[in-house]
Amino acid sequence: MPASIQKRTRARGVEPPTGSSSRDEHASRLGLDPAFIAHVIDEHRRTTVPRLERLWAYYRNALSPRAEPSHPGACAVTRAGRWYTLAQEVGLPQRIVGTPGHLGDDRARARREAVIENDIAWRIHLMIDFMAGRPLTIASIARDDAIRTRVERVLSAIWESSGGVTLLQDMALLGHVYGHVDLVLRIDEGALREIGNSERGIDESASLDRITRAIRIELIEPTRGIPITSPTDYRVLDAYLIHVEHDENTLDKEDSSPSSRRRHATRRRITTLETMTPGRRIVEQDGGVVLDERSTLLPDVVPVVHVQNTSQPFRYTGVSEVEPLIPLQDELNTRLSDRACRVTMQSFNMYLAKGIEGFDRVPVGPGQVWSTDNPDAEVTAFGGDASSPSEDAHIEQIREAMDKASAVPPLAGGVVRARIGNLSSANALRITLMSLLAKTARKRLAYGRGIAELNTLILRALDSAGVLRTSEGGRATEIRWEDPLIEIAEGNDRVTQ
């Protein structure tokens, strides 16, 4: 059992399990069917994770070094091309990316120039900048002034110690890409009770420091978090699983020998499963239970807050901003690749010579003279770049479709084009960006509701531990966001941020 988990377990007043109990026994303790848990994890791995990884790949568009081809026929093609591939190339047709390993026509195997313009990432970043580009303010609505001040001070300190605005922006990024994100409240109940027993006030900075060490907010991305919702209400969690596979700082036993270490040493890979039900939490590593604790501060809830990026009725998952842009992104990359091929083929004039001997050995350049005795000889020039209005219009229409689907026009990123009107005031700018501002306001309601719900759980735990006494009605908070646009004072040049 890891020493870190042993230390945390004893600090919370829970004796670590001595044996390596099976998953079936502890799943039964939680009131869950072990076969059902195994089925949920397998279904999440097979169906949910691949879809989420594809969404992230289209957003990130990561660069990957290209592997050397295994067959001799493609060596020349690979070495002559780029040394890397991009994630979005998976959406390009075969006539552009080619078919490696094909033994037929060489033209089918050849790879054309692939042009990838990631229009998804900058739109996602602009949405996050508009929604969470500035720190928010947590305001308590408690009637007592002293309690209201204490609540705001404690909550601000907990959020700041958990990441502050960086945590908020990471939460927004995961929500925009995956469609939803979960927040887990981590509480060291033993340390929190010690604070409640030893100190009455929280005005001292030392008290706040102890509280922030006992309470932490953690982001759980949907690729790791597996919700088990109530059969009658999708908004209620019966249990929550966190399934993680990660490498340890030790070598695998099979590769521990010196000869194996020289050839291919690999780290030991372990699987961690954390199961949370109302009032209980069990952590398993490779099937053995390493932590089993009960909660006395929050005995009737699962300490998980779910946030949907854009609400989807009667569904736990939200709507991703990446998903509707993928078909348009594939079409844009295809047309840009086709245009690059056309420009390459037509950038220089090509010549067709008839009846001229040795033309293939004569350089083509200014002042060059060809002579022949053949009266039917001729040199025909073709190629050269030419305009393609239909191609340009089609690419522009794809970009406009992406603007509509994402509600993010290029003007939001500072790209000023013609026909945008006379933006002489802030109101004119707001009208131009109306769709983006409306989407931002709707998302702030969704994310703000999740933050307020987590604040309620924090205040409830602090009240149960005797650290900060609050009534049930005094635990509500308001989330106040800054205006996403710069305020321009009318009549002068003063600009306030």
What was the pLDDT predicted at 1? 41
Q: How far apart are CA 145 and CA 473, in angstroms?
A: 15
DSSP bridge pairs for 381: 351
What was the pLDDT predicted at 427? 73
CA 218 to centroid of chain Cα atoms:
15
| Assigned domain for 90 exists | no
Residue-range definition of the domain harbouring residue 236: 3-61+118-324+436-496
pLDDT-derived band at 73 (thresholds 50, 70, 90) equals very low
Buried b (16+ CB within 10 A) or exposed e, 405-417: ebbbbbbbeeeee
pLDDT above 90 as % of the chain: 52
What was the pLDDT predicted at 26? 52
What was the pLDDT predicted at 460? 96
pLDDT 10s digits, 96-142 = 887 655 444 445 556 788 899 999 999 999 999 999 988 899 999 99
What was the pLDDT predicted at 258? 57
pLDDT 10s digits, 362-382 = 777 777 777 888 888 888 877
Query: Which two three-digit tokens encode residue 52?
Result: 């989420």
Residue 384 has pLDDT above 80, yes or no: no
| Assigned domain for 408 exists | no
Q: Which range has the worst mean pLDDT, 98-112, 425-439, 469-483?
A: 98-112
More confident site: 103 or 327: 327
Residue 441 has pLDDT above 50, yes or no: yes
Mean pLDDT of all residues in 450-464: 96
| Assigned domain for 337 exists | no
| Number of domains comprising the chain | 1
Torsion, CA 430, CA 435, CA 437, CA 438, rounded to 10: 120
What was the pLDDT predicted at 362? 74
Q: How far apart are CA 150 and CA 475, in angstroms?
A: 12
What was the pLDDT predicted at 425? 64
| Assigned domain for 390 exists | no
pLDDT above 70 as % of the chain: 79
What was the pLDDT predicted at 379? 83
| Assigned domain for 224 exists | yes
pLDDT-derived band at 458 (thresholds 50, 70, 90) equals very high
The DSSP secondary-structure symbol of 45 reads I
Residue 495 has pLDDT above 50, yes or no: no
Buried b (16+ CB within 10 A) or exposed e, 444-461: bebbbebbbebbebbbbb
pLDDT 10s digits, 9-54 = 444 444 444 443 455 655 555 567 888 999 999 999 999 999 999 9
What was the pLDDT predicted at 487? 55
| Assigned domain for 129 exists | yes
More confident site: 25 or 82: 82
Mean pLDDT of all residues in 146-163: 94
Q: How far apart are CA 339 and CA 114, in angstroms?
A: 10
pLDDT 10s digits, 213-257 = 999 999 999 999 999 999 899 899 999 999 999 888 888 776 555
The contacts of residue 404 (CB under 8 Å, 6+ apart) are none
Query: Which two three-digit tokens encode residue 93?
Result: 């047709």
More confident site: 5 or 296: 296
pLDDT 10s digits, 385-420 = 667 788 889 999 999 999 999 999 888 877 766 555
Mean pLDDT of all residues in 302-323: 94
Mean pLDDT of the chain: 82
Q: How far apart are CA 406 and CA 320, in angstroms?
A: 10
The DSSP secondary-structure symbol of 419 reads S
Residue 493 has pLDDT above 60, yes or no: no
What was the pLDDT predicted at 437? 92
| Assigned domain for 234 exists | yes
What was the pLDDT predicted at 150? 92
| Assigned domain for 442 exists | yes
Mean pLDDT of all residues in 354-359: 82
pTM (predicted TM-score) = 0.82
What was the pLDDT predicted at 259? 55
